[in-house]
Structure 1
Amino acid sequence: MLEFLTEQDYRTTPWKNGRGVTEDVLLLPQGATHENFDIRISRAPIVDESQFSPFPGIDRTITRLGENPLVLRFEDGEEVALGHLSPYRFDSASAPCSQLPGGASQVMNVMTRRGRWSARVAVVGNSDGGSMSVPLGGLLVVHAVRGECIASPGRIDAGETLIVRDVARVDIAPGRDSVCLVAAFEPETRA
């Protein structure tokens, strides 16, 4: 089963801490909120240095989409400079503070409820295309960050998302100078 989402399908909501907004690309199960989701994918501009909202029991993979640097500073003093288009996973209960040494940036978050779902996140460029497995009982989400992405049997443009269920494999071929973020979700228990 394939589901195509465009930017008109995404929902903009304020952050829990009130310091910004996020665009929910996908929130599951259907009807879930920011308090009870099992899977959440969102995009957000980070325009001010502030503390992330804590989400206990949630694993978060954050990917910096913006060109400007973004540093996460954790309570234990650890600092992580997020690489451009390099996914970084952490426990969302830790709620790091953001530092913006070069000004505002943009991120994509992939979040899963621990014990129910796990996610593997990869960034695929035009030289990285190939075939990806859809986890049994899970789903594969392809988001076109830049340019177009062919994800058989569909095509999405920048900002659009393809959700794939009940298909064993998906061939992904980003167009020239294109970048796609791919998240494979696998159930840890039958949700």
Structure 2
Amino acid sequence: MRILKHSDHKRMPWKNGQGVTEEVASFPPGSDISNFGWRLSIAHVGADGPFSVFAGIDRTIALLDGDGLCLDLPDSTKELDPKGEPFAFSGDLDISSRNKGGPTIDLNIMTRRGQFRHVMRRFCGEPIVSDDEDAVRLFVFNATTSMVIDGQAIVFDRFDALLLGEANSNIALTGHAVTDVLAITIYRVD
């Protein structure tokens, strides 16, 4: 189990150079955007424009802050809301985005197809359940949250994260009813 503080997230330019991202965690350790197996990041979207293309990568994003983000896909448009469900898509697609009412911030999980797969869920106002064995689990807190982890109270600030490895399958998480938490589960593909 590791607590990943927002102040420690690694900041870097987007692959296409048109924005800034904060890397929350990646695997394997020391990997970069060309050779990760999985990568979790927070993107700051200040202007409308194209998404970076990541061939062979599956992605899911959820809006953390802002009035809304419209994704222009090859055959449709998807609008993300600040409390809405995460949206999964292929990193192979040419996508552009438009902010509604100003800059936005989103959470982005990417997994390399054929090596890993992922699921992202948003928990708002219900207990957080973490019972997937043989998986890596990450929790990103979109509000200051107090959680009890195996009987110990821990306070997480906004954009802090909790990383549970495959060996942490029996950790019990209980949370506050007003939390906004994004839970990401990453499975190895055999």
Normalising by structure 2, we get a TM-score of: 0.90
Amino acid across the alignment from 2:147: I
Amino acid across the alignment from 1:60: R
Q: Please, which moves more after superposition, 39-48 or 169-178?
A: 169-178
Equivalent position of 2:132 in the other structure: 134
3-state secondary structure, aligned to 1:8? helix
Answer yes or no: is the 8 Å Cα contact 2:27–2:38 preserved in 1. Answer: yes
Q: Distance in 2 between matches of 1:150 and 1:106?
A: 24
Answer yes or no: is the 8 Å Cα contact 1:4–1:162 preserved in 2. Answer: yes
Shift of residue 116, structure 1, vs aligned partner: 0.8
Q: Distance in 2 between matches of 1:130 and 1:23?
A: 24
Residue 143 in structure 1 maps to residue 144 in structure 2:
no
Amino acid across the alignment from 1:134: D
Amino acid across the alignment from 2:90: D
Q: Distance in 2 between matches of 1:47 and 1:37?
A: 25
Equivalent position of 2:172 in the other structure: 171
Q: Distance in 2 between matches of 1:180 and 1:170?
A: 17
Equivalent position of 1:31 in the other structure: 30
Shift of residue 62, structure 1, vs aligned partner: 0.4
* CA deviations over 1:71-107 (Å, ceiling 9, x no partner): 000233x111113232000001103100123221110
Aligned residues: 185
* CA deviations over 1:131-177 (Å, ceiling 9, x no partner): 322331x2111111112141523633322111112122443333253
Equivalent position of 1:108 in the other structure: 107
Q: Distance in 2 between matches of 1:54 and 1:151?
A: 39
Mapping 1:172-187, distance limit 5 Å? 172-187=173-188
Q: Distance in 2 between matches of 1:148 and 1:65?
A: 15
RMSD of aligned Cα (Å): 1.6
Runs of 4+ in 1 over 4 A off after TM superposition: none
Q: Distance in 2 between matches of 1:186 and 1:151?
A: 25
> Structure 1 residues 22, 49: CA separation in 2 closer, same or farther (over 3 Å shift)?
same
3-state secondary structure, aligned to 1:111? strand
Mapping 1:13-24, distance limit 5 Å? 13-24=12-23
Structure 1 gaps, min length 5: none
> Structure 1 residues 144, 151: CA separation in 2 closer, same or farther (over 3 Å shift)?
farther
> Structure 1 residues 162, 97: CA separation in 2 closer, same or farther (over 3 Å shift)?
same
Q: Please, which moves more after superposition, 166-175 or 54-63?
A: 166-175
3-state secondary structure, aligned to 1:124? strand
Equivalent position of 2:79 in the other structure: 81
Equivalent position of 2:157 in the other structure: 157
